[in-house]
Amino acid sequence: MSNSNSTSATPVSISDSPHVIVFPPLLYVGTLLVGVGLNWVWPAPFLMGGATWARWAGGALILASGLVAHWASRTMREAGTNVLPSKPALTLVTNGPFRFTRNPLYVMNALVYLGLTLILNSAWLLGLFVPMLLVIYWGIIRREERYLEAKFGEAYLAYKARVRRWI
């Protein structure tokens, strides 16, 4: 992640990326599709009685998450860095939503997933949530953190000590 007020990065090379194991939105969507497929074959609601409130809550969660995700993406672009984790980080972003969490886009994707879980009332989606987060943590976030530590050194370590990973 990057910030216009931060330290410049080392020169960019072809291999300058965190080498995450999967494109993060693809993991969220893939997990969602697996859960929806399982729910279609073996319906498993976790809320009884239709749970109209859950659909409204899920919709609100999706809307709020979308707005914060847009803010995070815009903050990264304005700082002059790449949003895609497969591309090099060009500067360390510490402003905007990055003041509150080091991973606002992953947090917002997780909240959209939970919003859809509420709307679809699927125990399958709920059950797949934690395994999906474990893949996000071990296969994406940890790799990004090692990459950013190597690339930005003390500046990233200070940011990491100051701002939580999630919320």
Tell me the β-bridge partners of 2: 92
Determine, yes or no, domain membership for 111.
yes
Residue 127 maps to a domain: yes
First to last CA, the chain: 16
pLDDT, tens only, 102-125? 999 999 999 999 999 999 999 999
Distance CA 144, CA 42 (A): 37
Our CA angle for 9, 92, 140, nearest 5°, is 100
Confidence label for 12 from pLDDT (cuts 50, 70 and 90): very low
CB-based contact 103:57 (threshold 8 Å): no
Query: Which structural domain, as residue segments, surrounds residue 76?
Result: 52-162
Residue 132: other Cβ atoms inside 10 A: 20
Per-residue pLDDT, averaged over 82-98, amounts to 94
The two three-digit tokens of residue 114, written as one number: 């939970």
Q: Two tokens at 110?
A: 């997780």
Q: Is residue 115 part of a domain?
A: yes
In a domain, 5, yes or no: no
Q: What is the sign of the dihedral through the CA atoms of 138, 68, 109 and 58? A: positive
Number of structural domains the chain divides into:
1
Alpha carbons 3 and 110: distance in angstroms, whole number = 23
pTM of the model: 0.87
Span 52-79, pLDDT tens digits: 999 999 999 999 999 999 999 999 999 9
